[in-house]
A and B are shown apart, each in its own frame.
Chain A
Amino acid sequence: MAEALLATESLVKQFGGLCATDRVSLEVARGEVHALIGPNGAGKTTLVGQVTGAIRPDSGRMFFQGRDITALPAHRRAHLGLARSFQISSIFLDMTALDNVALAVQIHQGHSFRLWRNARADQSLRAPARATLDQVGLAARADVMAAELSHGEQRQLEIAMALASAPKLLLLDEPMAGMGPNESQRMIELLRSLKGKVTILLVEHDMDAVFALADRITVMVQGRIVASGQPSEIRANEEVRRAYLGDAGSPR
């Protein structure tokens, strides 16, 4: 498929006897919001880890923009335009929100070997960082220590850090995890505003969010992909209903 931004081919990763991803072949098309759903332990985070390079697959290959990235280390993949957020907020807690994003901008620019000029007075870092904070709705919290931000704000900050690298593909691992309804709604609005600007692979349990945002949905159960298609197809898929959605998770 020519327009696939990310393609994985038969990714296998075993942890002991457990097959966390079992020959997973997934394609994410350029520009889409692709949701990855499945019950806990389905292997979603393991898959994201392999795509970002944090976890090495036992076998299989993956391609980003047609280029084989299977052997590339994580930081090289990040520079190709793969950005991720973590399931548990992963930010620099002892820095201000602005410093967090400015550091992300700096690493994206690739000029971290400068030892003399004051990075905190460097407008080529501060200005884009402020703009990105504004984009995720955190402009007013720029000078607050990240540790003092609310849970929802920390997740917004994480998205801002991912965006700061002007990614081609944003891998979001449960961005709504642990959020209240209001915070979730804000996050959905934020992600909706990114739609079309950046390709998103969204791992999420919140079915309202998934069906509100996704162009395509892939369902994983026990390490395997059981279905992939339009939201309406997934909604209608009997196997998915039985295996995962159940009655309680039934989308509205």
Chain B
Amino acid sequence: MRALPWIGLAALAAAPFSGLGNYPLHLLIQVLLWGFVYTGWSIMGRLGMVSFGHAAFVGLGVYAVGLAVHHGVSDGFVHLGLVVALSAFAAFVIGAVCVRTSGLYFIMITLAFAQFLYFVGVGLKQYGGDDGLTFRGRSDFAAWLDLADAVTFYYFVWAILAAVLFVVYRFVQSRFGMALRGIRSNEQRIQGLGLPVFRYRLAAFVISGVICGIAGALLANLTQFVSPAYLHWTRSGDLLVMVIMGGFASVFGPVLGAALLLVLEELLSSYTEHWQLLLGPILILVVLFAKQGLMSALPPAGLQFKIRGHG
């Protein structure tokens, strides 16, 4: 059972070979990208801190790549460096304020920062302001890596996501991950033991922001379009709807949550244009019967990676 998520990942890798058309492949790319953003978000979710502002980091990633290409810089490694540096810096500054709060205040203050960046995006008139800006070109990593090709792009996103998931999987079990669990479980106690909680929260926030920034950079390569819409709070809202599906207790919940919601949307909207009328009750049922997200409804020994002590 423990191997199931990795099997799922492998299945996602095999998807392009199964004779899928362009549209389902596009849907799968959406699943991977949203799973990516959600993975970043869940680092904070794991701490019991619900961010309503992670669209900010996705948007930063989109803008960094978009504007770099627009100004003639197409080197993928430059893009990557730029995105990591920008999103880490932004997460550091925003986090330094936000992680001092918790609960409802954390939700509101992350939302406030994201909306601030949204209006900055709207104000960038030279880059289309509210309307956004279409740019031509993608991140150029190597001659053999043509991101314009849908299958290549799919594998590119898949590989980076798999790497990020593996890193997070290790990270969760590491000393750092244990410290985060302790903070979530009993902040007063862990402070009494001598852990500087603020620094660890901030570090988690930065890691979380950087993952979302990278997701944004990939998104920019897909859409070739920058727009403040990526920064808008409704994006963070969409993410939270996925969180209802996937919970935040497991490493693979994000990909599953993203997949469930996007596929569900797809199915429901093929029956009726009022599909959101059907989605709402389904979400309510999930909240009522699977409080930790649908991952928790599956056998705990496998997907949840509840690792028992074996030292």
- Residues on A lying within 8 angstroms of B by beta carbon are 52, 54, 73-79, 83-84, 86, 90-96, 98-99, 102-104, 106-108, 110-123, 125-126, 142-143, 161, 165
Contacts and interface: CB of A to CB of B under 8 A. Distances in A.
A122 B310 CA distance: 10
Given A86-B189, A90-B188, A113-B176, 8 more contacts: A78-B192, A94-B185, A98-B309, A106-B179, A107-B190, A115-B174, A115-B175, A120-B307
Contacts of B307: 120
B125 interface: no
Contacts of B189: 86, 90-92, 161
A99 B188 contact: no
Given A52-B192, A92-B185, A92-B186, A112 B179 contact: yes
B191 interface: yes
Interface stretch (B134-142, B152-160, B194-202, B261-269): B194-202
B308 A143 contact: yes
B178 A103 contact: yes
Question: Range of interface residues on chain B?
Answer: 20 to 34
Contacts of B310: 120-121
Interface in B143-188: 170-171, 173-179, 181-182, 185-186, 188
B193 interface: yes
A114 B175 contact: yes
Interface in B281-310: 307-310
7 contacts: A86-B188, A103-B181, A106-B179, A107-B195, A120-B173, A122-B175, A123-B311
Contacts of A123: 311
A104 B192 CA distance: 10
Contact of A114 (B174, B185, B308, B311): B174
Interface-centre pick from B171, B189, B191, B196 (highest chain A CB count, 10 A):
B189
Nearest to B182: A103
A142 B195 CA distance: 23
By Cβ-Cβ distance, the 10 closest A-B pairs, closest first, are A78-B194, A126-B311, A92-B185, A112-B179, A114-B175, A90-B189, A119-B175, A107-B193, A75-B194, A118-B173
A100 to B, nearest CB: 9
Interface string B196-215: 11001001000000000000
Interface string B108-132: 0000000000000000000000000
Contacts of B191: 54, 74-75
Given A106-B179, A125-B311, A118 B192 contact: no
